[in-house]
Structure 1
């Protein structure tokens, strides 16, 4: 999903900008445009242009769900990191980390 935020021209309402932009872009460059609006009259205008619509509340919910999914995926990745097969003390691990970073004194 790609999110883009637009600002209308001077003296142009957000509704007229959305309608103009959807009409200009639809079929020329893309087949899937989703407009985020909770304004019922704007939703009807968007449906008429062939674009999809999602309410602000639905978008917020979807963003939060995606945030949770990404967080879970990152947790899974960090849990699946290969562990050392030899149990090492924290002091030895600290020394290895110094060596790895080039801070080890001989």
Structure 2
């Protein structure tokens, strides 16, 4: 247990920061999972509409110091790439069999 006044204050502040960080990490994690589900189930429209919200959450986390800014950039980039791949596969699959193309995307993202 902290003894000095400043150490006690740091303990209080760290508890508040930890609660804040956990809240935002959980929010980002659940948002990312929802977006991943949309991509895996082959719904490019839904995934594309979720993308700005996910980007906003990651940017806010990076600006507040919850995660590193390069980690946020990496996650945004990877998810945007998945959405764009899905969208291009769906547009090209209108001429061919969509099942084969969708399985290629799932295996490459795993």
TM-score, normalised via structure 1 length: 0.33
More strand by share: 1
Larger radius of gyration: 1
